[in-house]
Amino acid sequence: MAKQTTIEKEFSIEGVGLHTGNKSKMVFKPAEKNTGIHFVRVDLPNKPDIKADWNSLSTGTAIRGTTVQSGDVQIHTIEHILSACFALELDNLIIEIDNNEPPIMDGSAKIIAQKILESGIKELDADKDFYTIKDPVTFISGNTKIVAYPSDKLEIDCTIGYDHPFLSHQQAKFEITKESYLNDIAPARTFCFDFEIEALQSNGLAKGGTLDNAIVIGPSGIYNKEPLRFDNEFVRHKILDLIGDISLAGKPIKAKLVAEKPGHKSNISFVKEFVSKAIIDKGEPKVEVPKKEETVVSDEEVKVYNCAEIQQIIPHRFPILMIDRVKLYGAGDKKATGYKCVSGNEPFFQGHFPGQPIMPGVLIVEAMAQTSCVMFLSRPTLRNCLAYFMGIDKVKFRKTVIPGDMLELRVEVIRDSGRKGKVRGEAFVEGKLVAEAEFMFIIVDREK
């Protein structure tokens, strides 16, 4: 059974808040079991105490940072602090602060994470509770979509995109462990675009922002003297923020999160939706994934490929990559199921159709075909090959597919002649058939 934790000894940090520009000092102190994480405003009479969970969230100020509140007392921009605590598996902590915003430090969670490790983490005489889910939990708002899938660990697959020449698209995926967080996520710094600065400051934000604690992006690069710490540092910071925001669930989470264009306001709305549907388990939970029609395949082994692994098998990339996950059954050469989270941010919805977005039927067929490609090209003998359409038959479209739908793409081999074959595909949304087709293909070697 996993035990609750706190820090071994107290430590402090001090500096300037990113948005308020206020100087503050924070003292981190060990806490007893079942305490949770609390912020204490030691600069105010009676030292108001605010517990860091979703019940204390102040949604009205969650645009450029996450704020917790008790009465009229607020603490702003707490996501980096909570991110480090959550990823390093701290359950109980008292954080005293003498102003209304934590120090931003270098714009990342690296320094606070190092401080926690230097302080030491100790186990307490109490078991951890975990949040798990049996069915996917989906949150959609505008161009943002966050979906949680059942898992026995915390994984995050995040995609961001902007109408900007320097930052049009980034994607990253990590299993969140202490090691991956410290090495791959904690050092990623907060960022903004140069054209945002004046508007932020006119709205009372970014008063403490400098090139020493935030990346500023221009049309062709960054203004900072320090180079990027990672090629995809921006999406990694979005993952850092998301970890901090989901910590407000109040318990460790076991789930796979697939996030498109996340932000603080949407993150905390997702947390509320997630908590309303989650189950509390003790110890290291084993999540019972619900059986669905496509998985009733006797006791055959199931192999699952995530988005990053799919891109190692087939050449498709954004914006034409039409699948997020693929399951192969048994030997993996006869039957597969692909999944596509249909986001309102898909580029084809801009013209198909304005005001009434509908996924083009040809792209649903393409998604089925890509699922088939993974099924065939995952074979060791075909790893350096391409699959081409030779023909499409018996195509029928039965229902429209719109933003927010989860496409389930079931494909099965009808005929397999090694490098030629025929596949039947069916697409479902919430168990209802939306499209079907049969298609022929040929597999060729990639040009060297």
- Report all structural domains of the chain as residue ranges with CATH numbers, in order of start: 1-127+172-252 (3.30.230.20), 293-445 (3.10.129.10)
Closest CA to 239 of 286, 285, 198, 184: 184
Query: What mean pLDDT comes out for the span 410-421?
Result: 86
CA 391 to chain centroid: 37
pTM of this prediction exceeds 0.85: no
Bridge pairing between strands 37-41 and 93-97: parallel
Q: What are 132-184's pLDDT values in tens digits? A: 998 899 999 888 999 999 999 999 999 999 989 999 999 999 999 999 999 99
SS3 percent helix, strand, coil of the chain, rounded to 5, is 25, 35, 40
Residues forming the active site: 264
- Within the chain, how many helices (H) and strands (E) appear? 8, 25
- Higher pLDDT among residues 334 and 276, named by residue: 276
* Partners of 339 in beta bridges: 325, 408
Burial of residue 163 (number of CB atoms within 10 Å: 0-12, 13-18, 19+): exposed
Tell me, what's the pLDDT at 304?
87
DSSP class of residue 182 equals: I
Q: What are 231-262's pLDDT values in tens digits? A: 999 999 999 999 999 999 999 999 999 999 99
Tell me, what's the pLDDT at 332?
59
What residue type is assigned to position 1 of the chain? M
Bridge pairing between strands 137-141 and 279-282: unpaired
Q: What are 202-226's pLDDT values in tens digits? A: 887 889 999 999 999 999 999 999 9
How many angstroms separate the CA atoms of 418 and 329, rounded? 18
- Higher pLDDT among residues 445 and 246, named by residue: 246
Distances from the Cα of 314 to the Cα of 149, 232, 369, 370, 392, angstroms: 24, 22, 11, 8, 20
Tell me, what's the pLDDT at 383?
77
Q: Average pLDDT over the chain, rounded to whole? A: 90
Q: Which residues contact 399 (CB under 8 A, 6 or more apart)?
A: 429, 432, 433, 434, 435
Question: Could you write out the DSSP letters of every residue in 269-337?
Answer: HHHHHHHHH-EEEESS----PPP-GGG-BTB--EEEE-HHHHHHHS---TTT---SEEEEETTSSSEEE
Distances from the Cα of 262 to the Cα of 52, 141, 316, 385, angstroms: 20, 10, 24, 35
Question: Out of 26-30, 211-215, 333-337, 420-424, which region has the weakest mean confidence (pLDDT)?
Answer: 333-337
Tell me, what's the pLDDT at 291?
39
